[in-house]
Every structure is written in structure tokens, then in C-alpha cells.
Amino acid sequence: MQIRLAGPPIIDSIVDGPGLRTTVFVQGCWRHCPGCHNPQTWDFDAGYLDDTENIKKIISETKMQDGVTFSGGEPFLQAAALADIGRHVKSLGLSLWSFSGFTLEELQAGTPEQQELLKLLDVLVDGPFVLSQRNLNLRFKGSSNQRTLRLKDGQLIERID
Ligand code: SF4
């Protein structure tokens, strides 16, 4: 399945969730939050097309990773492709996190593909970056409106940050 990426997966990331993680940066986000850290990922025609099979192969062959994180760009605008990768991540017993500019409640009422991706996640960091609520002391997120949510089958278990 095709996926538009901002760049190759980042290995050994320590800023996108706990432990050592492989981070997949998708390309494309219409939200254009002032102060966004990744404005180069906004353009839906930039980046490059890859195949999810390639990404799954990289994840399988990369050792010593605690999990995989989807970032961007807006991961939930490519939910079907990321669900394909996410199923593979879970089959390897790795943890799966995703960032999203959408809230959990918006995604729970989203497309079937978005709901499918949501059901695979262990943790969702939700909501857009809001410059007026920027807080440099937050872990794994940039503004205090964003929530770090532990999920099971797409349902909220607990807010962990
Ligand atoms: S939702 Fe995220 S990627 Fe999109 S503009 Fe806002 S901060 Fe940037």
C-alpha cells in the first residue's frame, strides 16, 4: 500500500515516546498550526511515496526498539496505510504510539480507517499544537492542550499526561 512520507523512518528516537523508538513521519497536514515544529511536512505534494511493505521490513529488521511512533504531518489523514504498518508493529509485540492534531473524540467519530488505526494504538497524543499554550516542560508534546492517552481497542483507559 502506498504511503507519502516526509523522510525515511528515524531509528532510536528518544523524543517520540518512551524507550528507543522508530518514528514514521508522514507528509501532509492542512492544520498549519502557528509554531508547528515540522512545517516542512505540511505540503501534501512534498516528501515522497513509499510502500508500506518497505516500512514494515525496516521495522522488522531494526533491533533494540521498544516501539514505533507515527508522527508528521497528520498521521490520521493516511490512516489506512498506517493501520497496515500498525498491524505489523503489534504482531512484533512492540508498542505503538501516534500523534494527531485531531482529538480522540474526533477520531472515534472518524472514518472507518481512522477508527481502525485508533484501535491499534497503545497511546495517542492528541490535539493540535497551540502556540499560546506552549510549555517546554511537557514530555513528548509541545502545548498543554495536548493529552497523552492510553487506549485499548480505541477506547480511553487513562490519561497519562
Ligand atoms: S497538527 Fe501537528 S503537524 Fe499539523 S500543523 Fe499542527 S503541529 Fe504541525
Q: Which three cell numbers stand for residue 2?
A: 502506498
* Alpha-carbon gap, residue 88 to 78, rounded angstroms: 16
Q: What is the pLDDT of residue 133?
A: 97
Q: Which CATH superfamily is domain 2-159 in?
A: Aldolase class I (3.20.20.70)
> Of ligand 1's atoms, which has the minimum distance to the CA of residue 38?
8
What one-character DSSP code corresponds to residue 75? G
Q: What is the pLDDT of residues 67-102, one digit of tens each?
A: 999 999 999 999 999 999 999 999 999 999 999 999
The residue type found at 58 is: I
pTM beyond cutoff 0.95: yes
Ligand 1 centroid distance, CA of 41 (Å)? 8
- Which of 32, 37, 70, 129 should be mutated for ligand 1, with most atoms under 8 A from CB? 129
